[in-house]
Amino acid sequence: MIQRRPSLYFLKKPNSTSAVILPTMSALPGTMVLDRSGSGTQAILSVALTVAPIVNTNVTVTSSDPSVTVSPSVVVFGPGLPLSANVTVTGSTIGPVNVTLTATPSDLTIAPKTVAITRSTLALPVQTNLAMWLRADSGVIKRGGTNAAVLDDPVQGWQDLSSNALNLSQATLTYQPLYKPTGMNNLPGVTFDGIDDVMTGSDALLPLGKADRTVVMVAKWNMFVASYGGMSWGSNTTNAVFGMVKWSGTTPPATVQGWAFDYASSYVLTVNTPVLWVVTLSGGLLSQRINRTSVMSNVVSSQNTISANFRMGAETNASGFQGITFSEVVVFNRALTATEITQMESYAARWNV
């Protein structure tokens, strides 16, 4: 009788990596351009995997600048789920020119991807005879000399972006307005408290005497103080001031100030209502537009502005203060045409006015 001994057989375990195709990720296009002529400009980013992962994998898409947002910010890939998804990239008018988007998978075996975004420098549609340009989303300097960025940073300087460099300043901390990252339409603003906040600068290169001029201002009153005030330049003597202010009182009309002779419009200011205010002095005739509607047309003006200083947030002689948030102020050394005013009003739409 032959006895058979049992035999042992060892099966080689298959190499799991050789039998599984690992997913890779793409983020296309690799470069994108966002127009900064107005907020809300959008582009589409496609995030995709070559194959579905074995388990659900999250891909987080982040922007190096918070003013460029992505939605959705998290995309999920997994068994039975689509291999690609679109992400909407939304830009704004603020922030740096160059921005990077990064798509980072939770699965560490899948390499992250980056996408470069370029935004053109924000430019005024009208630039001829530009005398002053103040923007709350650029050139606001906090105490210490760096750019204001955080809620309620005290503002010690505001840089004029025109070639005249008519910068504003306030050295005293208690008199400094505050930076608001979301002052108007989720864009920055500079807020004056209506108690003692004020900023001053030179008016030497602003339109003086009876010279033609156009001023475009985006602002809102946060509270009414029973005094005049807002933004003005010149000397506090008869007809020697040029300002865009509220009339003294609690139901004030928007008024061009001349000192002694003032020019109240038909528009009544209300608290927390933004105004896009355009004032033109042309050949001695004064016109005002608020929120794209004429509120004064060709009124004879006796203004004869005398150089003294530029003042924001207070009466021109600092006798009273205003609770007001400024977003943008643009001054031209000439009267703009009707077409140019329309261009400036379209540009100002980024503040949602």
pLDDT in tens, 295-347: 999 999 999 999 999 999 999 888 889 999 999 999 999 999 999 999 999 88
* pLDDT grade for 5, boundaries at 50, 70 and 90: low
* Least confidently predicted of 13-27, 41-55, 293-307: 13-27
Looking at the predicted structure, is the pLDDT value of residue 120 above 90?
A: no
pLDDT at 260 (0 to 100): 86
Mean pLDDT of the chain: 90
pLDDT above 70: residue 37: no
Distance CA 164, CA 133 (A): 9
The single-letter code of the amino acid at 12 is: K
Q: Is the pTM of this model over 0.85?
A: no
Q: Cβ of 222: how many Cβ atoms within 10 Å? A: 18
Place of tokens 């643009």: 330
Looking at the predicted structure, is the pLDDT value of residue 209 above 90?
yes
Ranges 91-95, 117-121, 292-296, most confident? 292-296
Instruction: List the chain domain ranges.
Output: 24-119, 130-351
* Whole-angstrom distance, CA of residue 126 vs CA of residue 330: 10
At 1, the amino acid letter reads M
Regarding the domain delimited by 24-119, which CATH topology (the fold level of the hierarchy) does it fall under?
Immunoglobulin-like (2.60.40)
Residue 233: in which H helix or E strand, if any? strand 230-234
Selected residue with higher pLDDT from 17 and 92: 92
**3 state SS of 167:** coil
Assess contact for 247 and 253: CB atoms under 8 A. Answer: yes
CATH number of 130-351: 2.60.120.200
The model's confidence at residue 16, banded by pLDDT at 50, 70 and 90, is: very low
**Residue 14 pLDDT greater than 60, yes or no:** no
Position 9 confidence tier, pLDDT thresholds 50, 70, 90: very low
Which of these, 22, 97, 93, 100, lies nearest to 61 by C-alpha position?
100
At 210 the pLDDT is 97
Between 37 and 107, name the one with better pLDDT.
Answer: 107
Distance, in Å, from the CA atom of 185 to the CA atom of 92, rounded to the nearest integer, reads 11
In angstroms, the CA 40 to CA 34 distance is 10
When pLDDT is cut at 50, 70 and 90, the band that residue 135 belongs to is: very high
Identify the H or E element spanning 322.
none
Q: What is the pLDDT of residue 4?
A: 57
pLDDT band of residue 3 (cuts 50, 70, 90) is: low
pLDDT recorded at residue 38: 58
Report the candidate in 218, 102, 200 with the shortest Cα–Cα distance to residue 155. 200
